[in-house]
Amino acid sequence: MPNFHHRRRTDVVAGQQGTNMLDKLASALDFDRQALGLRFERQKVLAGNIANADTPDFKARDFDFSRALAQATARDGSHGQLAMTTTSAGHLGGAASGSGAAPEMLYRVPDQPSLDGNTVNMDVERAAFADNTVRYETSLSLINTRIRNLKAAMQSEQG
C-alpha cells in the first residue's frame, strides 16, 4: 500500500513537469507564430489591394509589420493581457485579457493621384506582395528549423 501511494505521487509530479515543458515549447515557438500570423495578415491586405486595383475610390491599405510584431509580442509577453494606455491623470489603469487584436491599418500615400480616387499602385503592391511572400517563407523555414531542433533535443542519444 505505501508503495502504491508513493508511485502515485511521482506520477503527479511528472504530470506537472509535463505542462511546464509544454508551456516552454509553446513560448519557444510563439515569436515565430506571431510573425507568421502577421505575414499572412499582410498577404491578405496586399491581395485585397491588388484585387481592388480598378475599383473607384478604393484606398490602398497596409500596416507597419515591425511595429505590429513588436505590439503582438509585447502583448504576448504579458500572457495575453492588453495593458490600458493612460493619457490623462484621471484615467484608470487596467488590463483586459485576450490577444489577437488586428494590426493598426494605415493608408498608402499615393505617388500618382488618379482621377477616380483609387490609390492602388500596381507596381508597389506587386513588389510588396513578392517581398511578403519571401518573408513568409523565411518565417516558415525558421519555424521548421526550430521544430527540428526541439525534436532533436527530445530524441534519445542511442538512436
Residue 82 sits in the site that holds another protein (CB under 8 A): no
Give me 101's grid cell: 487584436
Q: Which of residues 138-157 bind another protein (CB under 8 A)?
A: 140, 143-144, 147-148
47 near another protein, rule: CB under 8 A: yes
What CA–CA distance (Å, rounded) separates 67 from 78? 17
> Which amino acid appears at position 104 of this protein?
E
Rounded CA separation 70/72 (Å):
6
> At its nearest, how many Å lie between another protein and the CB of residue 3?
41
Write the DSSP assignment of 72-114 as a string of letters.
HHHHHHTTTEEEPP--STTPPP-EEE---PPPPPEEPPPSS--
Residue 52 near another protein by CB under 8 A = yes
Q: Least separation, in Å, of the C-beta of 59 and another protein?
A: 8
Residue 54 interacts with another protein (CB under 8 A): yes or no: yes
By CB under 8 A, tell whether 105 contacts another protein: yes
For another protein, which residue of 44, 90, 157, 159 counts as binding (CB under 8 A)? 44
